[in-house]
Structure 1
Amino acid sequence: MKLKRIALAALSATLVLGLTACGTSQNTTPSQSGSTSGQKMTLRLADIQPADYPTVVGDNEFAKLVKERTNGRITISVYPNAQLGDEKTAIEQLQLGAIDFGRINASPLASFDKQLNVFNLPYLFSSSDQMWKVLNGPIGDQMLAGLKDSKMIGLTYYDSGARNFYNSKKPVVHPQDLAGLKIRVQQSDMFIDLVKTLGGSPTPMAYGEVYSALQTGVIDGAENNWPSYYSTNHYKVSKYLTLDEHSRTPEILLASQSTWNKLSPDDQKIVLQAAKDSQAVQRKAWTDLENKAIQAAKDNGNVVTKVDITEWQKAAQPLYDKYGKDYTSIIDQIRATK
């Protein structure tokens, strides 16, 4: 009998481990269809950003709405600060079903869904308002649906702002004003070609080295969004910022297809709507952070130059000939959205 009790205890422990290994805990027996209708669940969401960053604010709003709308039956625990790994790791874990949700930038996701590469093209959107009309409309839905082939379910988009050029030398109004300026870029062929095409001198460099390089004159400028310009103190050593908004690559909130398939149709609707509803809170958090950065730049006496985006779009056309030829239809649809 003692051996039998030991064997039963070991079997129970194995079953518990099996249920928790994928990050999902369930308190009732699944129905024959495999859905989790009526079950109490704890799910995990991965984000690489700090706890107060706008994407994590959105994650927490999403988790709150799901919990409220399921009367506490489905709980989503948010893990910021890359606690569950970097974005590449998170993508792999989502595909395996080892984590349930993730907030990932569209750029690394393009390795798994080629059509998302279109978001990396410079000057794709004419404004923030136009971008959100695209993302929250049929085109955006089509892009999210494409992730299903990679075992992920796209739920909604989050804001990551627009990247702008900034430098320590002079105001830049026209593309040709970048001529001769050494501009730090990411180690990306498209970003390197963008600066070359606009007449600047691209200088790939690790992100952490940019401040000292700006300070010592190793480079003349760089490019990034408002919060990064502010949080890294680049605004203190690079006072000329050009609002060219050359890149608007959105964030995407995702579910693991494995987790999604375990949810009942009703729970899927709740989760999807909660994700969409959380977008407004995330976008407000992003706008608030941008405004804080803008005010800091103004207080520092920085020169912020607004430009004619169409002029920069025209200058960047060679990149569309090189990198956008596979996405002509999507590009046309995006450009036609007003």
Structure 2
Amino acid sequence: MTKTILKASILALITAGALSAPAQAEIGKHTFKVSNGAAQDHPVSAGVDAMSACLEAGSDGKMKLRGFYNGQLGDDAEATQSVRSGSIDMVVTGAAAIGGIEPGMSAFELPFMFASDAEVDAVMTGPYFDRLAAKMPEHDLIMLSIWENGFRNATNAKRAINTVEDFKGLNFRVMQNPIFLDTFRRLGANPVPMAFGEVFTALETGAVDGQENPLPLIQATKFYEVQKYLTLTRHAYSPTPVLMSKKVWDGLNAEEQALVQSCATEARGAQVAKSRAVTTEALEELQTEGMEVSELSPAEMDKLRALVAPVYEASMETVGKDNFDALMAELKKVRGN
């Protein structure tokens, strides 16, 4: 064999080997826009910052997040639809905003579903999360994690709430959600559905008397400027799913997808820790700002739970009995019964 033929043969073998070897995917440059309805000093920003730092560290600075707060890219419902269409990359939204899209998310809105932070953590990172995440692609969404808004409490400008009867006649802003509407109707209040971005002005003008949200959000949004009374009801828990557009997700390679997923999961720890740390701080600041804080006695809380208990049965069509049963089965395991 001549040297020329030998060289040609070797080159052919090298070329054939290169073509048959699997291509090594590289991480590209991505800055994902993330929408959220809360103010930037709300604990959700701790999750966005932690996830962005994780992405940058894992991609040599090629991937990161850019947060948009105060509903700059639309309220929760609008931003979620934009994520579904692919015009926004990600949203950290309230579960209620996607309950109409995926009924299994509505189970979180049932009153007094969770009794402790430990129960919350077990469910938000356990089989029920996996169940929900598996359903999201059919809605053009990828659920990366579930972060935290926290337990919800009631505020109003009219009077202190010390008994269940004190709810009667008060106009409460609630999310556009059948479970929340039903819950406050059964308390004797007048629920008024309204987008979050409109709430402060409605409270300021007296269009509504009160609202209900977690303490850090009440503090960050400065509702204390237009609300006098805070009642620590902890009547519902408010999670914040972290959702990415399926169109955007599908445009990432496997290495990029793995990094996005792992960073969203890792960031949950930072976000939840911040949320719980500022809850106590928020309560203290709300009192410093002049809010009067009250709690219902155990007997009154029992009355409250009894009044809203029918919401569970009435909500089965919204939630889906299979979803409700799956969540309750998981909670029973967590509670050891």
Tell me whether the two structures share a fold, i.e. TM-score over 0.5.
yes
Q: 1:60, CA displacement in angstroms?
A: 2.0
Equivalent-residue separation in structure 1 for 2:158 and 2:118 (angstroms): 31
Does residue 227 (structure 1) correspond to residue 219 (structure 2)? The answer is: no
Equivalent-residue separation in structure 2 for 1:86 and 1:237 (angstroms): 21
Aligned partner of 1:329 among 305, 316, 325: 325
Gaps spanning 5+ residues in structure 1: where?
1-30
Corresponding residue number in structure 2 for 1:276: 265
Native 8 Å contact 2:162 2:294 kept in 1: no
Equivalent-residue separation in structure 1 for 2:266 and 2:235 (angstroms): 28
Equivalent-residue separation in structure 2 for 1:36 and 1:117 (angstroms): 41
Corresponding residue number in structure 1 for 2:312: 320
Aligned partner of residue 291 in structure 1, secondary structure:
helix
Corresponding residue number in structure 1 for 2:76: 87
Where does 1:19-34 land on structure 2 (aligned, <5 Å)? none
Q: 1:275, CA displacement in angstroms?
A: 0.7
Q: 1:184, CA displacement in angstroms?
A: 4.0
Aligned partner of residue 268 in structure 1, secondary structure:
helix
Q: 1:290, CA displacement in angstroms?
A: 2.6
Deviations 1:223-274 (A, max 9, x none): 2221343345443664442222122231111222233334343433322121
Where does 1:126-165 land on structure 2 (aligned, <5 Å)? 126-165=115-154
Aligned partner of residue 125 in structure 1, secondary structure:
coil
Corresponding residue number in structure 1 for 2:187: 198
Q: 1:277, CA displacement in angstroms?
A: 0.8
Aligned partner of residue 287 in structure 1, secondary structure:
helix
Equivalent-residue separation in structure 1 for 2:108 and 2:217 (angstroms): 20
Native 8 Å contact 2:83 2:141 kept in 1: yes
Corresponding residue number in structure 2 for 1:17: none
Corresponding residue number in structure 1 for 2:103: 114
Native 8 Å contact 2:171 2:190 kept in 1: yes
Equivalent-residue separation in structure 1 for 2:271 and 2:160 (angstroms): 32
Residue type of the alignment partner of 1:154: M
RMSD over aligned Cα, in angstroms? 3.2
Native 8 Å contact 2:42 2:217 kept in 1: no
Corresponding residue number in structure 1 for 2:54: 65
How much identity, in percent, do the aligned residues show?
23
Q: 1:169, CA displacement in angstroms?
A: 5.3
Aligned partner of 1:303 among 289, 293, 297: 293
Deviates more, 1:248-257 or 1:293-302: 293-302
Quick check: which has more Rg, 1 or 2?
A: 2
Does residue 179 (structure 1) correspond to residue 168 (structure 2)? The answer is: yes
Aligned partner of residue 248 in structure 1, secondary structure:
strand
Aligned partner of residue 295 in structure 2, secondary structure:
strand
Deviates more, 1:276-285 or 1:227-236: 227-236
Corresponding residue number in structure 1 for 2:65: 77
TM-score (ref. length: structure 2): 0.76
Native 8 Å contact 2:27 2:59 kept in 1: no
Equivalent-residue separation in structure 1 for 2:148 and 2:176 (angstroms): 23
Native 8 Å contact 1:193 1:319 kept in 2: yes
Equivalent-residue separation in structure 1 for 2:143 and 2:182 (angstroms): 30
Gaps spanning 5+ residues in structure 2: where?
1-18
Aligned partner of residue 286 in structure 2, secondary structure:
helix
Q: 1:285, CA displacement in angstroms?
A: 2.8
Residue type of the alignment partner of 1:329: D
Q: 1:186, CA displacement in angstroms?
A: 4.1
Equivalent-residue separation in structure 1 for 2:81 and 2:128 (angstroms): 26
TM-score (ref. length: structure 1): 0.76
